[in-house]
Structure 1
Amino acid sequence: MDRRSFMKKAGLAGAGVAALAAPAIAQGNQTWRMVTTWPKNFPGLGVGAQRLADRITAASGGRLTIQVYAAGELVPPLQSLDAVIDGSAEMSHGAAYYWQNKSAGLSFFTGVPYGMTSRELTAWVRHLGGQEIWDEIYDQFGVQGFLSGDTGTQAGGWFRDELTGVDSIKGIRFRTPGLGGRVWEKLGATVTNMAAGEIFQALQSGTLDAAEFVGPYNDLALGFYQVAKNYYFPSFVEPGLATELVVNKAKYQELPQDLQALIKDVCQAEYDQVASDFQANDPRALKTLIDEHGVKVQQFPDDILEAGAKASAEILAELRDSGDELTKKTTESFISALEIVRQKTEGTDSRFIAAREKYFKL
C-alpha cells in the first residue's frame, strides 16, 4: 500500500472536527470515547485500537460501547492523554513516552534504550512491580494505564544519507521520541517528536533529515521510502515498544467489576494480538520495501552502537539520581527487573536464536 492510498483511506480529519455529546447512558448501557494517536486504519496500531474497542463492545454485550476517534478527529494526536485527564474522552490509545513531559517515569512503560524487550517488559509490569509504580505515576492525573499492544524490536530509522559513524550524526534533524530521543541528542542530533501523520511531509519538505516510527509494516504505509532510502536495523533505543490504553480512573472504578476485568483482560489479549500482527507482517513489508522500492537495509556502525549504549547508561543514572521520587523509584525498579529478566533472554533465548541461524537450514 503506498502512502497516498493509505492516507486517503485513513480519512484524517483536522482537530476538533465535531463537538461531541457527553457519553450516552441508557438502561445501564454506556458509550465511551477513545481518542488515539494513530491515523485511522493504521496497520497494527490503529487497527489494534479499533479491534480493542470492538472486543470490549462485543464482550460486554453492548453494556459498554467504545467509539474510536483517530488522530485529529476529536483532539490532536499528541493531546490524547490530556483529553482523558480533562474529561473530553474516557479513553486514549497511544504510547506512554509521548507524555514524558508530565513525568519522566512514563517513558519506561513504552521503551528504554538498550532496555527491555517486549517480553521482558511484560514480566516487569505484570510480575515484578512495574504496574504498581505505573499506577502511582498516573494516579497524579486521575487515570489508569494498561499495556495494550506490542510492536517488538523496532527499526532504527530512515536516513537520507548513509551513517558512517558518530560524527555523521551531528546536526541531523531526527524525529524520534522518548528516552531514545535523549540518547540521539547526546550523540549530536537535533531531535523532535511528531505524530505519525505529520512525519512524511516533514521529511519531504526537508524539515527532517531522518525519522523513525515503528518498522516496515507501518513505514511502508507512511511512505518514508519515497524520501529516504537508507533504512537502519535494528533500533537500539526501542527494543520492545509497548502501546497503552489509558482510562479515566474514576469512571473505570465506577464500572461493575466484570466490566473492569473485561477492559483489563482485553488489553492483555490485544497486547499479544498486536505482537503477532507485527511478527507476521513486518517481514513481508520489508521484502516489499527492498524488492519494489529499492530500499537499502543498513546496520548502525559499531561506534554509534557503543556511543548509544554509553549515552543510555548516563541517562538512566541521571534519572536514578533525579530529585523526583517517583522517577527515581521507577528507574530503580526497571533496572532491578532488567537484571533478572535479561538472564533468560541472553542466557537461553538469544543462544537458541544464534544456534538456529547458524545450523538450521530448510
Structure 2
Amino acid sequence: MDRRSLIKNAGIAGVLAAGVAPAVHAQATVRWRLASSFPKSLDTLFGGAETFSKAVRSMSGGKFEVSVHAAGELMPAFGVVDGVQNGTVEIVQTAPYYFFGKDEAFTLGCAIPFGLNSRQMAAWMNEGNGMKLMREFYAKYNMINFPCGNTGAQMGGWFRKEIKSSQDLKGLKFRIAGFAGKIMERMGVVPQNLPGGEIYTALEKGTIDAAEWVGPYDDQKLGFVKVAPFYYYPGFWEGSAELDFFINQKAWDALTPEYKAIVEAASAQAYVETQARYDARNPVALKQLVASGAKLRPFPQDMLAEAFKHANAIYEETSAKNESFRKIYADLVKFRADQNLWFRFTEATFDRFMQAQKLG
C-alpha cells in the first residue's frame, strides 16, 4: 500500500498502530566533528564536550553523532575559531577570551577582570541582553555560540616566588589569558598566553615565573605545585569564566528544528555538569594541594586596588575605539551594578556568616 495514502486515510493514530512512522519524524543522519581547546587530561573542561556528545547521540537515537577531539588533534588549541569560522569543523569548545587578539569583545563572552560571578553571568546571558549581544558579535565570524560550562570563581595562580606587594610583579613572566594580560602588563608583568598543556614545562624550565589556570582540581592534575609553590587568590580577572560551543553558522542553519533543540539541551546539560563538577571537586583538591606543599596566599590589597584602577582605565580606552566592545560592555556594567546590589544583601551576607562558623 502507498505510504502517503496510508497516512492520509488512517490518520496518525492508525499509522502508529500499524507501526509506520510518519515521514515528518524521519531525521537524516548528521555527523559533526568537535575540536576542543582543552587536553583530555582536564576532564572537567574537555569532559563537558564529551557530555555534550553523549547527550546529542542519546537524544537523537544515534542519528546525530558528534566526534570529540582534544586540542592539537585536528587543530591547535588557539586555532579553533578559525577552524569553525571557515567550516573545517562544525563545532568547537573553547574559552572565548582566548581570542581577544582578534577583537577585544571576545573577552566579554567569557570573563573580564572585576566582572560577573558565575550566577550573574548566567543571568546576564539568559535573562539579560548578554546572549543577544554576543551572538550579534559572533555572527561577524560566521558562528553562533551556546554556553557549555562555567568554572566559577578561579584562583589567582602559581608563583615561584612570594608576592608581597605590587612591586614584586615588575618583570614577572606570567602565563595569564585574555584581557587580564593587558591589565597585568600595565603593572609591570610580562604576560604569556600558553595553552594548558604547555604551562607545566614552561614553569619547570623557568621560561615563565608564574601561571594561572583555573582552580585546585585542574591545577592539581597539571602538577603546578611541584614547580611553583605559592598559590594565590582570588583570580580577580575571572570571577567566573564561561565556556562556549561555537557552531559554524552554515552547519547550524542546516539542522532541523528537532536537532537544534537537541544541541541547545545538550549544551545546557554540559553547562550544569561542568560547574557542578568544579564546585564539588575543588574543595577536596585544595586540601590535597596544601598537604602537598602549596602555600596559600591572598593577593596584596595594594595590588588589587591598582589592578582595579587599571582595569577601568583600559575598559574606557577600549570602548572609545571598539564599537562592539563599547556596546556590550556598557550593558554588562549596568547589569553588574544591579546584581552586586542584590548579592550584597543576600548571597554575600549569607556566605560571610557561614564561612565564619565551625561546620562539619
Work out whether the TM-score is over 0.5: yes
Q: How does 1:15-30 map to 2 (within 5 A)?
A: 28-30=28-30
Conserved 8 A contact 1:123-1:341:
no
Distance apart, 1:359 and its partner CA: 4.2
Provide the residue aligned with 1:177 in structure 2. 177
Specify the code of the residue in structure 1 equivalent to 2:53. Answer: A
1:201 corresponds to: 201
- The alpha-carbon deviation at position 347 of structure 1 amounts to 2.2
| In structure 2, C-alpha distance between the alignment counterparts of 1:35 and 1:187, rounded to whole Å | 35
The amino acid that maps onto 2:309 is: K
- CA separation in 2, counterparts of 1:132 and 1:222? 36
Decide whether the 8 Å contact of 1:43 with 1:217 is kept in 2: no
The C-alpha deviation readout for 1:173-226, integer Å capped at 9, x for no partner, is: 000111211111111100011111011111111110000000111111111111
CA distance in 1, matches of 2:85, 2:230: 40
Shift of 1:319: 2.4
**CA–CA separation in structure 2 for the residues paired with 1:214 and 1:361:** 26
Secondary structure of 1:122 counterpart:
helix
> Which residue identity is paired with 1:345?
F
Paired residue for 1:14? none
| Match for residue 340 of structure 1 among 338, 345, 359 | 338
Give yes or no for contact 1:99–1:106 (8 Å, CA) kept in 2.
yes
Q: 1:288 to 1:335 in 2, by over 3 A?
A: same
RMSD: 1.4
Query: Which segment is superposed worse, 336-345 or 32-41?
Result: 336-345
The question of whether the paired residues in 1 share the 8 Å contact of 2:29 and 2:64 is answered with yes
Aligned residue pairs, count:
335
Per-residue CA distance 1:239-298 (angstroms, 9 max, x = gap): 10111101011211210111112111221222111111000101111111111x211011
One-letter code of the match for 2:331? Answer: S
Q: Deviations for 1:120-164, whole angstroms, at most 9, x for unmatched residues? A: 011111111111111111111110011111110001000000001
Partner of 1:223: 223
Residue aligning to 1:319: 318
Compute the TM-score of the two structures, normalised by the length of structure 1. Answer: 0.90
For the 8 Å contact 2:118–2:152, the answer to whether it is kept is yes
Quick check: 2:152–2:275 contact (8 Å CA) kept in 1?
Answer: yes
Aligned equivalents of 1:355, 1:170: Cα separation in 2: 37
Q: Distance in 1 between matches of 2:100 and 2:94?
A: 13
**What SS does the aligned partner of 2:114 have?**
coil
Partner of 2:354: 356
Equivalent pair of 1:100/1:107 in contact (CA under 8 Å): yes
Aligned twin of 1:125: 125
Report what 2:47 is aligned to: 47
The equivalent of 1:151 in structure 2 is: 151
Separation of aligned partners in 2, 1:161 and 1:138: 40
Structure 2, unaligned stretches of length 5 or more?
1-26
Letter in 1 for 2:305: E
Equivalence for 1:138: 138
| Cα distance per residue 1:64-119 (max 9 Å; x no partner) | 10000101111111101111112111010010001112221110111111110011
**Cα contact 2:41–2:221 (8 A) shared by 1:** no
Q: Secondary structure at the match of 1:341?
A: helix
State the alpha-carbon separation in 1 of the partners of residues 333 and 74 from structure 2: 38
TM-score (norm: length of structure 2): 0.90
- Gap regions ≥5 residues in structure 1: 1-26
CA distance in 2, matches of 1:320, 1:268: 31
Distance in 2 between residues matched to 1:355 and 1:290, nearest whole Å:
24
For residues 103 and 132 of structure 1, the distance between their equivalents in structure 2, rounded to whole angstroms, comes to: 18
